[in-house]
Amino acid sequence: MIISQSKPFEEIIKYLEGSKKVVITGCSLCASTCKVGGEEEILKMKNSLEEKGIEVIGHRILDPSCNYLKVKKDLKVLKKDFKEADSVLSLACGDGTQTVAKLLKLPVYPGNNTMFIGEVKRVGEFEESCKACGDCELGWTGGICPTTLCAKGLLNGACGGAKEGKCEVDSNKDCGWILIYEKLKSLGKLDNLTEIREPRNYKRVVSPGRLNLNDKGDAC
């Protein structure tokens, strides 16, 4: 899940400086779950903008905001609004905002900051779990990501700097490699740690990434 956080309202107002009529788009998936791009958040933003003299002439929750063809279809409902609007405010992640921007000739501004790929710990609490590194190591680490949970991203940990199970970089966080060790121990797979891992192949994370499932020879 892509975790997003609302931008400061002052920053959003600065983006919209000079805009008199605005359309707001949200996202039905990640941004809604993060409470930054659902119906409630859109209406709250609408009220806040109108208090600043900016008229919100249309709004819609896209399902989801990152699906290019679906967004292209859904935005047709707002076609008349876009003709009047000066700009669009997207309450989605960075990916969803870029999708909207590709389809419109209007300036599209982000209302959120995209933070990380993570999981929902409980309502309103999220934790990073994946860096989308393109070379997943979970198969030999007991399902615990060293790239994400180790502050140094070590593949042949641990570094030896942990104290009382906490990371030397951030003493408030558990050492990722101690977590991996304990998990492998419980699974009876400590032998996994005896193999020296090759340096990460950064060719797999060349940006921008691309994957076409219809092309058998294509890769990210």
Same domain assignment for residues 155 and 197 = yes
pLDDT at residue 37 above 70?
yes
Say yes or no to pLDDT of 79 above 90: yes
List the structure tokens of 212: 């076409």
- Whether 126 is covered by a domain: the verdict is no
Q: How many domains does the chain have?
A: 2
2-32 tens-digit pLDDT? 999 999 999 999 999 999 999 999 999 999 9
What's the CATH code of the domain at 68? 3.40.50.1860
Q: What local confidence, expressed as pLDDT, does residue 196 receive?
A: 93
105: in domain? yes
Q: What is the average pLDDT across 132-138?
A: 90
User: Does 124 reside within a domain?
Assistant: no
Please report, rounded to a whole number, the percentage of residues in the chain having pLDDT higher than 70: 98
- Whether 89 and 168 map to the same domain: the answer is no
